[in-house]
Amino acid sequence: MPAEHHTTLTPDTPVRYLKGVGPKTAERFEKLGIVTLADLLCHYPRRYIDFSRPYSIAEAPPDTECVVKAEVFAKPAGRILPGGRRMERITAGDDVSSLEITWFNNPYATQKLELGQEYYFEGIVTGGMLRRQMVNPQVRTAAQITAAPFEAVYPQTEGLSSTVIAKCIRQLLPHAELLPDPLPEEMLKKYRLLSKADAVRAIH
């Protein structure tokens, strides 16, 4: 259900009026304490993913979230598992090691992956040196990394992922001036401080 139309935005405007946010999504935002547009702008990332400094497969720290750079070695293979879950799998690698990558219930995960091309995979590497694995990673191309090497990761809740939250926040950032600045403009200029709006944009 689409969000209601709301032409004048204020800090107290309910988040449900943001484009693409309907009543159900607004309820999920409320679980995170986000009711208004000001709440959303002040929902800061809990960490950042640095895609610009990937590990090789062999050097990737085990059982730790990290970014691995690898080439797709084998064509994607998908199948239906008992119980109806769908699994997509590829084999990727570098000059030394290989990595088995699996996605569950995400039939589109491998559609844009090309054989012989390098990608950046962000997730948790498990297994020993002879068989390293990663499940449900995020994937980025070199061009995407060049354009945006860092990605904010937001506190999330069931049914509302960090990706969706980031998309909503990006939509709102041009309106960051909605947030009242606690410091007068004269003080900002005197001490060369960022305005509240510019600081919020930098954080996100």
Burial 191-202 (b: 16+ CB within 10 A, else e): eeeeebbeebee
Q: What is the pLDDT of residue 7?
A: 59
Going by the DSSP 8-state scheme, the letter that residue 5 receives in this structure is P
How sure is the predictor about 78, in pLDDT bands with cuts at 50, 70 and 90? confident
Cα separation values, 159 from 27, 35, 37, 162, 168, Å: 10, 16, 19, 10, 14
How confident is the model at residue 3, as a pLDDT? 43
φ and ψ at residue 201, rounded to 5 degrees: -60, -40
Q: Is 196 within 8 Å of 180 (Cβ atoms)?
A: yes
What's the average model confidence in pLDDT over 33-40? 96
CATH T-level fold of 49-147: OB fold (Dihydrolipoamide Acetyltransferase, E2P) (2.40.50)
Summarised one tens digit per residue, pLDDT across range 88-122 is 999 999 999 999 999 998 888 898 899 999 999 99
The CA-CA-CA angle for residues 183, 189, 195, to 5°, reads: 50
Which of the four pLDDT bands, split at 50, 70 and 90, describes residue 127? confident
The DSSP bridge partners found for residue 78 are 88
Domain extents in the chain: 15-46+154-203, 49-147
Prediction pTM value: 0.79
Q: How confident is the model at residue 184 (pLDDT cuts 50, 70, 90)?
A: very high
